A = this chain, B = another copy of it.
Amino acid sequence: MGTLETMKDIFNNPNKIIEEWKKDGKKVVGHRCMYVPEEIIHAAGMLPYPTFGTPEPIKKADSYFQPCACEFVRNLFDLALDKKFGFLDSMVLCNTCDAVRHLYNMWDTYVDSVPCYMVNNPQKMYDESGFKFYRMELEKFKKLMEDLSGNKITDESLKKSIELYDETRRLLKELNDLRKRDIPAISGSEFLRTSMASMLMPKENANPLLRKLIDEVKNREIKNADGPRILLTGSIIDNPTLIELVEDMGGVVVVDDLCTSAKYFWYTTKPNNDPMDAIVRFNLERTLCACAHPSEDRYDYLQGLIREFNIDGIIYFNIKYCHPFVYESAIFRKKLEEEVPTLTLEVDHSLSGLGQLKTRVQAFIEML
């Protein structure tokens, strides 16, 4: 089995990772989203596990949340009520959007099986007062992780964890760079599976696999690379189906600015003797998510992607109803359209209504 297949297998069966990890009695800490510092969890000897959703329709959660609430959050809550996250020793959320703040209240009230904690990151970026606030919040989080694991987190262990995670980010970016070519070395759906598998795995295992994969694909050229070059952006996509749909319609997805892909690995930490400060600055010196404020920097970053990856068209996927991206897409679409044709699509997280989507994507790609 080639490494691309291995990655696909890990993506399809993440429970194997958990079983393997827990064999030695080690703990697993679930989290949502990328502003939760995984390095602190890892430095305490635990596995940080990004919780994704499933494409199944929501059952129990719909008697708690209203239908206009974010479907991804309802999906997570559904899985929690169904005890599908029973393997977690704790869940960690962070202050991103209205939905996640309230998911915390719901989880804390109704999900007895897994305790939930909230890291209170500021939403304002690049700001001395925010740095100080976040530092204090992370010190509390560090203490909590030490108590949960029974392991002390030293500056040394934290530095090692940061280096390990930075290496994953560097490798994913190196792999992603192979998509800049006229004929990319890896397709959009292959890349998303690889990226998500790397996020789910212990980084000790992910890094050698990624190195091997880069070697395996670097002289490769994907098929059907003569269509328009597409940038995918928007709220979370934790399922390659949407990307496959774009590829089936003839689009060449050359970069996915998603929190399951580029947003995760785009930046690495800056050299810093104080590892906690390194994490603070890493998270507050990048406006990657529409939940962060202000949005100018995220717009500049998207413009950079358009140039670097030679983009012909942008598809902006909004999960119903992810408000930060709904709001952002409105202002960004107006600006982006001045440079590159942009299609904004509202999608169900459960991927119902794919037929209609297909028609709109097809029309867009034919137009390019």
State which of B68, B132, B323, B330 has its C-beta within 8 Å of the C-beta of A132. B132
B293, A324: Cβ atoms closer than 8 Å: no
Q: Does A118 contact B (CB under 8 A)?
A: yes
Q: Does A105 contact B (CB under 8 A)?
A: yes
- Return A9 CB to nearest CB of chain B, in Å: 37
A326, B124: Cβ atoms closer than 8 Å: no
Q: Which residues of B contact A122 (CB under 8 A)?
A: 120, 122, 133
Within 8 A of B (CB), among A286-332: 290-291, 293-295, 320-321, 323-324, 326-331
- Return A232 CB to nearest CB of chain B, in Å: 19
A324, B104: Cβ atoms closer than 8 Å: no
Given A104-B294, A132-B133, A321-B321, A327:B69 Cβ within 8 A: yes
Interface string of A95-106 (1 = CB under 8 A from B): 101110110111
Q: Does A148 contact B (CB under 8 A)?
A: no
How many residues does chain A have at the interface if contact means C-beta atoms less than 8 Å apart? 46
Expressed in whole angstroms, the Cα–Cα distance for A331 and B109 within the complex equals 9
State which of B98, B295, B329 has its C-beta within 8 Å of the C-beta of A327. B98
Interface string of A210-246 (1 = CB under 8 A from B): 0000000000000000000000000000000000000
**Nearest B-chain residue to A129, judged by Cβ:** B136
Expressed in whole angstroms, the Cα–Cα distance for A99 and B331 within the complex equals 12
- Return A294 CB to nearest CB of chain B, in Å: 6
Q: Does A127 contact B (CB under 8 A)?
A: yes
A129, B133: Cβ atoms closer than 8 Å: yes
Expressed in whole angstroms, the Cα–Cα distance for A140 and B127 within the complex equals 11
Q: Which residues of B contact A127 (CB under 8 A)?
A: 120
Q: Does A130 contact B (CB under 8 A)?
A: yes
A98, B291: Cβ atoms closer than 8 Å: yes
Given A109-B331, A334-B64, A120:B124 Cβ within 8 A: yes
State which of B65, B99, B120 has its C-beta within 8 Å of the C-beta of A130. B120
Q: Does A128 contact B (CB under 8 A)?
A: yes
Expressed in whole angstroms, the Cα–Cα distance for A128 and B137 within the complex equals 10
A293, B120: Cβ atoms closer than 8 Å: yes
Q: Which residues of B contact A290 (CB under 8 A)?
A: 102
Q: Which residues of B contact A130 (CB under 8 A)?
A: 120, 133
A321, B68: Cβ atoms closer than 8 Å: yes
Q: Which residues of B contact A133 (CB under 8 A)?
A: 122, 129-130, 132-133
Q: Does A66 contact B (CB under 8 A)?
A: yes
Q: Does A123 contact B (CB under 8 A)?
A: yes
- Return A126 CB to nearest CB of chain B, in Å: 11
Within 8 A of B (CB), among A60-94: 64-66, 68-69
**Nearest B-chain residue to A103, judged by Cβ:** B327
Expressed in whole angstroms, the Cα–Cα distance for A293 and B326 within the complex equals 23
- Return A339 CB to nearest CB of chain B, in Å: 16
**Nearest B-chain residue to A332, judged by Cβ:** B105
- Return A120 CB to nearest CB of chain B, in Å: 4
**Nearest B-chain residue to A137, judged by Cβ:** B129
Expressed in whole angstroms, the Cα–Cα distance for A140 and B130 within the complex equals 13
Using a CB–CB distance below 8 Å, which chain A residues touch chain B?
A: 64-66, 68-69, 95, 97-99, 101-102, 104-106, 108-109, 118, 120, 122-124, 127-130, 132-133, 136-137, 140, 290-291, 293-295, 320-321, 323-324, 326-331, 334
Q: List 15 additional A-B contacts (Cβ < 8 Å) besides A65-B327, A120-B293, A132-B133.
A: A64-B334, A66-B327, A68-B68, A69-B326, A95-B123, A101-B327, A102-B290, A105-B295, A105-B327, A106-B331, A118-B124, A120-B129, A130-B133, A132-B136, A133-B133
